[in-house]
Structure 1
Amino acid sequence: MSSESTNPKSRHVAVIGAGIVGVSTAIWLLRDGHRVTLIDKKGPAEGTSHGNGGVLASCSIIPVTVPGLLKKAPRMLFDPNQPLFLKWSYVPKLAPWLIRYLSHATSDAVRHRASALAPIIGDSLADHQALSAGTGAEKWLVPSDYVFVYRDRDHYNGDAFGWSVRREHGFEWDELEGKAWQEYEPSFGPDLGFGARFGNHGRITDPGRYVKDLAAHAEALGAKLRIGEVTDIARENGAVSGVRVGGETLACDEVVLATGVWSRPLAEKLGVDVPLESERGYHLELWEPSVMPRAAVMIASGKFVATPMDGRLRLAGIVEFGGLDAAPSRAPFRLLEKNIRDAIPGISWKHTVEWMGHRPSIADSIPLIGEAPSLKGAWFGFGHDHVGLTGGPKTGRLLSQLISGRQPNIDLAPYSPARFRRA
């Protein structure tokens, strides 16, 4: 049943994109008494929201672009055992973005990004609990630890800068080694003997089903689901008046752009030249594995996550730059399988499922959340790179607050779309 009658200032909002950010935005808008049309070219959770690592990674405030990356990257690209891949034919198109991206591999930029991300993802478990309560999707949400797994303490100390930044933002963790580590997590082989364990995190045991169930709840609240591609934003007197979809114009009062890596063309029409690229991510699902870790883990040496899910263990990670159109590469899948066999010697499973998707990576690693600088009623919510699932509910709630005329209790300046306003 729609709640629009409870809000005398009800707006009709077209939410473009039915991944976790768009669906979260739709639910919070409906709870605030607005009317919602949810538009997606394929349907809910058919993209990155289906294939992500499934971890509510509140502590993941450190970007890929850490100090020293520029020196390490060339070696990583030519080592098949490193989690960084590049489609060389794409380099000419990628180069301007990549130069801008790598310019943020400084300690100051990392701290700036961490300060921006902490308010969005730092309480993700509670954000997901608030979003999913009473929706039917809450059954996929599991409070759990999140553990970074290292070879030993020296290996862990090699990431001291990132750990110090997390500590600056109030994160706490347990350091487990020796007998304490073996008692906590006996799954791993002798080459992995140290764990940094975070409590108060969570995991989603079927991310695709979770977002689909949330979308179904939005429909039950009165949202209209429209399958189609939005090609333009209609405007009148400097404000949104509708969206162009499927050859017709759908009238609306506000629009939210939440299409992840596919957001750039519409953002450009709204006066924002966002430096956005696809960071191609891979996952490998091991169905009915013989060994299942007790919590979601990040294997530091391979930079991949292993997450216990419903009936399978999902391995997710890898960074590949190669654009939106190229077919998946085989090497990342081979590396994920090699890495899990190295981490858990003797593991076996019934069958595998492969997936490749597109993370929306902005050059400064900070999402766009807020109103378009040149059109009233047009809002952005995209660009969360590795933490879209983690930050989706909070982003949706912030956008609903803004559309409802309420001032959120965090500083929104770091996420301002105006930082990329076209000259």
Structure 2
Amino acid sequence: MTKTVAVIGAGIVGVSTALELLRAGHEVVLVDRGGPASGTSHGNGGVLAAAAVLPVTGPGLWAKAPKMLLDPDQPLFLRWPYLPKLLPWLMRYMSHANAEAALTRARAIAPLIGDSLADHLALAGGTPAEKWIVPSDYVFAYPHRAAFEADAFGWQTRSSLGFTHELLEHGAFQAYDPAMSPAFGLGVRQPDHGRITDPGQYVKDLATHAQSLGARLVIGEVQDIAQENGRLTGLRIGGETLPCDAAVLTTGVWSGPLAKRLGLDIPLESERGYHLELWEPSVMPRSPVMFAAQKFVATPMEGRLRLAGIVEFGGLDAPPSAAPFELLRRAIRAAMPELTWEREVEWMGHRPSIADSLPVIGAAPALKGAYVGFGHDHIGLTAGPRTGRLLAQMISDQSPNIDVTPFSPRRFA
């Protein structure tokens, strides 16, 4: 049955959902307060990180976090005045910092992201957005074998889920990528990944394609949900009601207030992420490189090298901090000593992080016709197409093709 579906939020998850709904024969209205890719989907690291199954809350974080917060060369920052507001969420978040919880999350998330490159090619194939997708390796850089072995839990977990990797040492890393400093004695090459060479334009091109298929784009902010007899009937936007048969909430870290209107109390917080773009770089890495110690990725993009990563807790309202940008500058100069660039662009955005490190994807149990898809923390771009397909299947009354139980909104009803 054809439905009119409103998709709230035009980032990668929302636009993917809109396209999958259109291909399933539904009518779609895409609603966003700033337009497609105006938030986190613009500024992400650009990696299709199929093997990124481990949460930030890995085993050992309790011991590491205090030292990291006091070391300006570590990728964890906190705006201390925000701590009292953060603390209740932080305690729930840190309760998952153990091996059992990390393995549970990894096993749940692997089917959502494990075929990310294929998912993006299926979503964008034959559209103007396809040109931004580049199949590639994804490489982790370590100073020596001991540092790699300290991450054994993560690599063993990836291997157990079927993700392969190859160690590059004794000069093999520099032979693979001459841009890397000899200070990195070991690289880990993960094949069958991909990168997006302009994430913002990629999502904009997908949104334009959705409009060419009949989607209507509405620029505005949804203030409330219209409902009747336990069923969603429309969205309140700027004093008017947009009628629809179903709606999907995909506004990332800004989803909390509307989620509450849908009967969901989701422990959602911003993991503030930073990127530094180096335009007209003198050298480029061969593939996206994750520098394991500083937890940032250097991704080759159209005309620039994007350095993205860092975790800062400080809420939605505070301006960007200077220290994360300085860490990125210091780290890339050490990693790629030959690198020079013509100009820089700084950016800070908000990753939507749920306390158990699992997104919410599915029907809101308290209101028929209402669906949610957000909370992907560091894997929003990677998981966007598969999330959109799952939501379109649910709205079309089809059975999803993976187990979506771990992502059920019911856990926060």
Q: Is the TM value for this pair above 0.5?
A: yes
Question: How many angstroms apart in 2 are the aligned matches of 1:46 and 1:373?
Answer: 29
1:344 pairs with one of 336, 347, 352: 336
Question: How many angstroms apart in 2 are the aligned matches of 1:80 and 1:290?
Answer: 27
Structure 1, residues 331-364: CA drift from partner, whole Å, max 9, x if none?
A: 0000000000011113110000000000000000
Q: Aligned residue for 1:5?
A: none
CA contact (8 A) 2:174 2:181 kept: no
Q: Aligned residue for 1:236?
A: 228
CA displacement at 1:179 relative to structure 2: 2.9
2:176 pairs with one of 180, 184, 190: 184
Pair 1:40-2:32 in alignment = yes
Pair 1:252-2:244 in alignment = yes
1:405 pairs with one of 388, 392, 397: 397
Pair 1:364-2:356 in alignment = yes
User: Mapping of 1:8-407 within 5 angstroms?
Assistant: 9-407=1-399
CA displacement at 1:320 relative to structure 2: 0.1
CA contact (8 A) 2:113 2:382 kept: yes
Structure 1, residues 99-137: CA drift from partner, whole Å, max 9, x if none?
A: 000000011100111011101111000000000011110
SS in 1 for 2:45: coil
Structure 1, residues 131-187: CA drift from partner, whole Å, max 9, x if none?
A: 001111000000000001111111100000011111111111111111322210111
Question: How many angstroms apart in 1 are the aligned matches of 2:27 and 2:69?
Answer: 48
Question: How many angstroms apart in 2 are the aligned matches of 1:360 and 1:95?
Answer: 17
SS in 2 for 1:142: strand
Question: How many angstroms apart in 2 are the aligned matches of 1:314 and 1:179?
Answer: 25
What is the one-letter code of the residue matched to 1:33?
A: G
CA contact (8 A) 2:390 2:401 kept: no
Q: How many residues align?
A: 413
What is the one-letter code of the residue matched to 1:399?
A: L
SS in 1 for 2:387: helix
Question: How many angstroms apart in 1 are the aligned matches of 2:111 and 2:146?
Answer: 31
Structure 1, residues 242-262: CA drift from partner, whole Å, max 9, x if none?
A: 011111110000000000000
- Percent of aligned positions with the same letter in both sequences? 67
What is the one-letter code of the residue matched to 2:83?
A: V
What is the one-letter code of the residue matched to 2:6?
A: A
TM-score, length of structure 1 as denominator length: 0.97
Question: How many angstroms apart in 1 are the aligned matches of 2:29 and 2:401?
Answer: 27
Question: How many angstroms apart in 2 are the aligned matches of 1:147 and 1:309?
Answer: 16
Once superposed, what is the RMSD of the aligned Cα atoms? 0.6
Pair 1:420-2:407 in alignment = no
Question: How many angstroms apart in 2 are the aligned matches of 1:115 and 1:12?
Answer: 34
Specify every segment of 5 or more residues in structure 1 that has no aligned partner in the other structure, as ranges: 1-8
What is the one-letter code of the residue matched to 1:205?
A: T
Question: How many angstroms apart in 1 are the aligned matches of 2:369 and 2:99?
Answer: 36
SS in 1 for 2:210: helix
What is the one-letter code of the residue matched to 2:65?
A: A
Question: How many angstroms apart in 1 are the aligned matches of 2:311 and 2:117?
Answer: 25
Question: How many angstroms apart in 2 are the aligned matches of 1:409 and 1:398?
Answer: 8
SS in 2 for 1:137: helix
Q: Aligned residue for 1:6?
A: none
Structure 1, residues 39-58: CA drift from partner, whole Å, max 9, x if none?
A: 00000000000000000000
Question: How many angstroms apart in 1 are the aligned matches of 2:105 and 2:165?
Answer: 21
CA displacement at 1:237 relative to structure 2: 1.6
Question: How many angstroms apart in 1 are the aligned matches of 2:67 and 2:148?
Answer: 21
What is the one-letter code of the residue matched to 2:71?
A: D
CA displacement at 1:399 relative to structure 2: 0.3
Question: How many angstroms apart in 2 are the aligned matches of 1:68 and 1:181?
Answer: 28
What is the one-letter code of the residue matched to 1:48?
A: T
Specify every segment of 5 or more residues in structure 2 that has no aligned partner in the other structure, as ranges: none
